[in-house]
Chain A
């Protein structure tokens, strides 16, 4: 596709519900990142993939958060037993190179998750 695509754009979940957020990176991009952006804040790092390998998951806030990229392209961020503090915009970004700075990181439009 022309850019990074995320779905759904908006998700309302009842507290305790599980959700799955999808990211389609730009074709051929090696690196894929997930960020959480709370209202009025900067993106906060969650996790990072190089192809199918999850190289860093230090930003995941709890064991309720899980991400995968099984074939090195599409990635899914899953949140189990959602809580109100999970409400945020979840941004996905991809980059052609595994070395940041060699190539630009492109962001998707994000999924706005609201937990009620």
Chain B
């Protein structure tokens, strides 16, 4: 079955700097890769996703890149703000299988 590895587990950045979180997956059949943000005590919320037919997707300060050959995908947050502080999860699915999540990255943005 699918295995998703996520790094780093914790990340601290100065406000205004960029943050990058990386994930690898094992199942070459996976074709859907969402990123969820979870604030303390709250539900995970989708912030961006990418499908295997594209290599990059952007939404304002957030971007995701996908390298299918290497089986890895990354989340990039630019101009970080204190409200970006949260736990971020990557996930992968083949479309017919449930999402498999990484273990999460705790991002702290220091003002």
Q: Complex formed: what's the CA distance from A40 to B106 in Å?
A: 9
Residue pairs across A and B with Cβ atoms less than 8 A apart, 12 shown, are A33-B99, A43-B89, A43-B99, A99-B95, A101-B31, A101-B32, A101-B93, A104-B49, A105-B99, A107-B43, A107-B45, A109-B43
Count of residues in B whose CB is under 8 Å from the partner chain: 24
- Fill in one digit per residue for A35-65: 1 if any B CB lies within 8 Å of its CB, else 0: 1000011111100100000001001000000
Q: Complex formed: what's the CA distance from A91 to B100 in Å?
A: 14
Identify the B interface with A (CB < 8 A).
6, 31-32, 34, 36, 42-46, 49, 51, 89, 93, 95-104
Q: Nearest chain A CB to B88's CB is how many angstroms away?
A: 10
Size range of the chain A interface in the assembly: 20 to 34
Identify the A interface with B (CB < 8 A).
4, 33, 35, 40-45, 48, 56, 59, 91, 99-102, 104-110
Q: Complex formed: what's the CA distance from A33 to B44 in Å?
A: 13
Contact A105 B46 (CB under 8 A): yes
- Which chain B residues lie closer than 8 Å to A110 at the CB level? 43
Contact A101 B89 (CB under 8 A): no
Q: Nearest chain B CB to A35's CB is how many angstroms away?
A: 8
- Beyond the given pairs A40-B104, A42-B6, A105-B99, 5 more chain A to chain B contacts, judged by CB atoms under 8 angstroms and listed by A's residue number, are A48-B98, A59-B98, A100-B96, A101-B95, A107-B36
